[in-house]
Structure 1
Amino acid sequence: MAEDIKDEAALRLRRLLEIRAIGIAALHEGAQGLDCWEYLTELKGLRVRGHKLEWREAKVAHLVALRQRATQVVGSMRTLRELCDEKGLEDRFVAFEALVKSSLGSIRLTNHAFREDNFAEMAHEPIWDRVGDHLKSLKENGYEAFLNSGTLLGVVRDERLIDHDDDIDIAVILKANNRQAAAGEWLELRQRLSDEGVLDEDAINDPSILKLTPVNGVQIDLFPAWFEADKFYVYPHTLGELSKTDVLPLKACSITAYPIPANPEKMLALNYGDGWKTPDPYFKFPWHIATERFSSFLEGVRV
């Protein structure tokens, strides 16, 4: 019995390495004539103890060859980097990353998509103009809003939009003073913005995040924020860890003059961790944790 199990593991490892080799070849030569989806399906049953690196490389190679599931690719690249760091194989990750980039050519991998450009190549002025339009619209509706998450990180750390990013993040401060009231107000605000024609309705797939009208293919995400007494909440990254004085009064960003929190560094550390000052194209936000932490708010908006 033990020999049978050992033989089966050896067969699975051999097949895993074959699929990895096919994926690597696809990165070099293209995926023409290959059924990469079939290989990816087969990979699900080929996890072999001690060979996480090979499995993850195989998955990334086939997805990149297909130009599909960019979010999974970014997450897998982060996992690969961590595995290589643990094993002292940093050069292996650097070489694999270089192969991925070479295979993509002019295509850019972002957290959301494989696309022809990211903020490194885009003109920023029309993007900021559209952001200004949306901030003005929110103000006319009686709401303060500020640059949030990746957009805030860019203007504070890089003094520009982050090169490897491709969307805009804004947070709006609701008038509600608890999570249940915030959920109700969020739904009301969605309807109001929809009536005004400033929502990209077709792009909204999660009621907790609204999509404002885009510009030049750049999505603009609107996130809910509110105070509960002196504690500040921003879905999905801040659950009362900031005080009112950390946020208000909002101040003008030195790059755009648009509003940002009074203490943006403190918010960024909550959102991105202590390493927020170092650019990381493979950063992945822990959405599963945020879903648990904000469960009462999410239950109210997902009706």
Structure 2
Amino acid sequence: MVDDRALGALDDVILSARTLFPDLEFLAPGGVLELAVRRHGVERIRVELPPGQFLHLQGIGVDAPDDGRTARARVEVSSWYKSYGERFELQRLLDFEHPTGTVVHTGADEPAWLELVFDSPIDIERLRLRNVDGPTAVRARGLRVLLQTGGTWLVAYDHAARAGELRRLLTHRTELGGDPTITALLPLLAQTFEGAYADARQALDAHTEISTADRSAFRAAVTSGLLADRELEWTVHGPQRCFRFWDETEKVTYVEFAAKVAEALASLTPQVCFGFGAALCVVRDGDLIPHDDDLDIIIGFDPHEAGTLGEGLALVEQCLRPLGYTVTGNFTAHRQVRRNGSKQVDVFVGLFEGDTISWYPGTRGALDRDLMFPASEGRLLGVPVPLPRNPLVYLERLYGEGWRHPDPNFKHTWDRATYADLTRPGRG
């Protein structure tokens, strides 16, 4: 068990790393990267990302003795995403002190890049970049800034190199009292600083020897010390932009999207409604749960409709894709549904076995038809949404008698073995 002294030392490490590497905060929404370049005769400024990433940029601030030549610069990009090129205004990009939303958005090119080209070489004293203000800010991971002088490119900033420096610093820390748990977690902290959130989450999951309490303490320390300022929280799903960071318009739009997905699925079967945390949102909170990060829809099929979970998932895909939805994932019992780049909604498939039904990762056979359907209706943020027929009993069966009290660390049973026969081809 990690003691308070070790956790306090971890807090100090996070604070010192932020102090020594302020440039890594560029990954935060609206983050600023400030470079004291002091270069003479700069012909071009290039901003680029590793292959396969979208380049988003809000603004570029160029401090030069001759601002007139800066204003007469032109911009070249690897590509424009959709209509961003038609809407592009150089003045918006260069007006660093008055951000006005995303200005540059390229495709996921090989690599994606932007170049600010001057009609004649200029002297630069300072260069500032402003990241976009939103969840796509993390796409700046791996960013490089280069300056062309006399036809030669010079690297002014390399995010990957800086992340490597931090990684080496953290993994050589010795003043944490020798606590083996903290020592094992320091590489994960480095990954989090550099924006490798999925990798950090997978690494934490792989440390099976670390107790649930220590995992929770680590997640809380990293969230409060670093991630909250990036509008992220480390939940059981990894670092996520949880609902506590969403504004009201975003939340209503997302709930409306989820309701439309449920309505589309109702063409398959009326046995569809909000489930899991989405039902909690409506019944308990009247709002999106602050520590949650997505909504869940549950759909039930009778044996003559689907004999296996795979067949049920195929029906979901066949229903939604022709309607313009993107359906992805290769999970045991659910798929992720998006449309036009929206936040995904998870659609879980359940199969009736007589009068009982269950949705993995919930306990198999814990629910019955009369409890679940026909669906009732509730309202979430003013949006009508379908709910289980008896949502109070549903939530008690799913989360236990304490369901009325939020528990950020709640976990389902995740007993895949009990659902094994429902995943086998040829069942039924």
When the two structures are superposed, what TM-score results if normalisation uses the length of structure 2?
0.51
Q: Which residue of 2 aligns with 1:54?
A: 182
**What is the Cα deviation at residue 148 of structure 1?**
1.1
Which residue of 96, 102, 116 maps to 2:225?
102
Over 3 Å counting, the alpha-carbon distance change for 1:228 and 1:185 in structure 2 is same
1:235 aligned onto 2:360: yes
Which residue of 180, 197, 203 maps to 2:324?
197
**What is the Cα deviation at residue 292 of structure 1?**
1.5
- In structure 1, what is the Cα distance between the partners aligned to 2:163 and 2:259? 47
Q: Counterpart of 1:241 in structure 2: which amino acid?
A: A
**What is the Cα deviation at residue 223 of structure 1?**
0.5
- In structure 2, what is the Cα distance between the partners aligned to 1:54 and 1:189? 44
Q: Which residue of 2 aligns with 1:222?
A: 347
Which residue of 82, 95, 99 maps to 2:213?
82
**What is the Cα deviation at residue 296 of structure 1?**
1.8
- Structure with more helix by fraction: 1
Residue deviations 1:66-109, cap 9 Å, x none?
A: 33236458868xx6672499xxxxxxx49x83564232213312
- In structure 1, what is the Cα distance between the partners aligned to 2:389 and 2:169? 50
Which residue of 254, 258, 261 maps to 1:127?
254
Q: Counterpart of 1:107 in structure 2: which amino acid?
A: E
Q: Which residue of 1 aligns with 2:123?
A: none
Structure 1 stretches lacking a partner, 5+ long? 1-15, 43-49, 86-92
Is the 1:108–1:118 Cα contact (8 Å) retained in structure 2?
no
Over 3 Å counting, the alpha-carbon distance change for 1:103 and 1:29 in structure 2 is farther
- In structure 1, what is the Cα distance between the partners aligned to 2:169 and 2:331? 31
Q: Counterpart of 2:230 in structure 1: which amino acid?
A: S
Residue deviations 1:149-172, cap 9 Å, x none?
A: 121122122111111222121011
Paired positions, count? 265
Q: Which residue of 1 aligns with 2:291?
A: 164
Is the 2:358–2:364 Cα contact (8 Å) retained in structure 1?
yes
- In structure 1, what is the Cα distance between the partners aligned to 2:258 and 2:323? 16
**What is the Cα deviation at residue 294 of structure 1?**
1.3
**What is the Cα deviation at residue 233 of structure 1?**
1.7
Larger radius of gyration: 2
- In structure 1, what is the Cα distance between the partners aligned to 2:181 and 2:225? 20
Q: Which residue of 2 aligns with 1:7?
A: none
Structure 2 stretches lacking a partner, 5+ long? 1-5, 25-161, 173-177
Is the 1:23–1:62 Cα contact (8 Å) retained in structure 2?
no
Is the 1:152–1:260 Cα contact (8 Å) retained in structure 2?
yes
- In structure 2, what is the Cα distance between the partners aligned to 1:294 and 1:20? 41
Is the 1:232–1:240 Cα contact (8 Å) retained in structure 2?
yes
When the two structures are superposed, what TM-score results if normalisation uses the length of structure 1?
0.68
Q: Which residue of 2 aligns with 1:13?
A: none
Is the 1:209–1:222 Cα contact (8 Å) retained in structure 2?
yes
1:211 aligned onto 2:339: no
Is the 1:143–1:174 Cα contact (8 Å) retained in structure 2?
no
Is the 1:236–1:294 Cα contact (8 Å) retained in structure 2?
no
Which range moved further: 98-107 or 165-174? 98-107
Q: Counterpart of 2:220 in structure 1: which amino acid?
A: E
- Structure with more strand by fraction: 2
